[in-house]
């Protein structure tokens, strides 16, 4: 009983420190490995993007990779979530998606399992993002920005390119803020 109580006491602060938005596990693309978003990305600024390989906006992969490369040392992580929700523009298997992203665009930012982003069947992560921002993805390459303390602080539609001035200014403002202490 003492060991059980000790476990609760020692694990509670970590759980309390995890922002609810990031308190979930997602599977990495084309793998069996799953990651807990809070454990892996605590204190980082996250740009969450629903992606597709056969879309007019697919070239945004290149810009997203440039953003990731430019700002990752300062705390930005781009998270890609392939989705087939919009006109079936992500029909491939996860392995095909992974190969396409790496070979065509040199994508190194983390990519995750093929995900439903459209209501009513949206993944809980996307439901939470929509609830916090008041905006749902209306197409592929919708972007959500999550602050270092795990709050959704921005929502950018598909037509907002990764090089967009407002998006970059918002990212720079967020990465300039110190990471919260746990």
In angstroms, the Cα distances linking 125 to 57, 59, 117, 120, 182 are 22, 25, 9, 13, 22
Tell me phi and psi for residue 39, to 5 degrees: -65, -40
Cis before residue 120, ω within 30 degrees of 0?
Answer: yes
- For this structure, is 55 an active site residue? yes
Q: List 48's β-bridge partners, or say none.
A: 79, 144
Instruction: Identify the burial level of 127 via C-beta atoms within 10 angstroms of its C-beta, where 0-12 means exposed, 13-18 middle and 19 or more buried.
Output: middle
Contact of 169 with 156, CB cutoff 8 Å: no
Residues with Cβ < 8 Å from 67, sequence gap 6 or more?
A: 47, 76, 78, 162, 168, 171
Catalytic residue among 18, 38, 55, 101: 55
Cite the active site residues. Answer: 55
């Amino acid at each position: 009983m003492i060991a059980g109580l000790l476990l609760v006491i020692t694990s509670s602060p970590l759980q309390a420190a995890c922002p609810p938005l990031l308190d979930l596990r997602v599977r990495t693309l084309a793998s069996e490995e799953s990651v807990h978003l809070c454990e892996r990305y605590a204190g980082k600024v996250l740009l969450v993007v629903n992606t597709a390989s056969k879309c007019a906006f697919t070239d945004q992969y290149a810009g997203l990779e440039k953003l990731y490369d430019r700002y990752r040392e300062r705390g930005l992580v781009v998270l890609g979530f392939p989705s087939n929700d919009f006109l079936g523009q992500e029909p491939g298997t996860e392995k095909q998606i992974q190969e396409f992203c790496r070979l065509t665009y040199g994508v190194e930012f983390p990519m995750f399992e093929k995900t439903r982003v459209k209501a009513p069947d949206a993944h809980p992560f996307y439901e939470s993002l929509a609830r916090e921002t008041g905006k749902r993805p209306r197409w592929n390459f919708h972007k959500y920005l999550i602050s270092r303390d795990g709050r959704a602080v921005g929502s950018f539609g598909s037509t907002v390119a990764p090089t967009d001035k407002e998006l970059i200014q918002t990212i720079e403002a967020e990465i300039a803020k110190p990471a919260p202490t746990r």
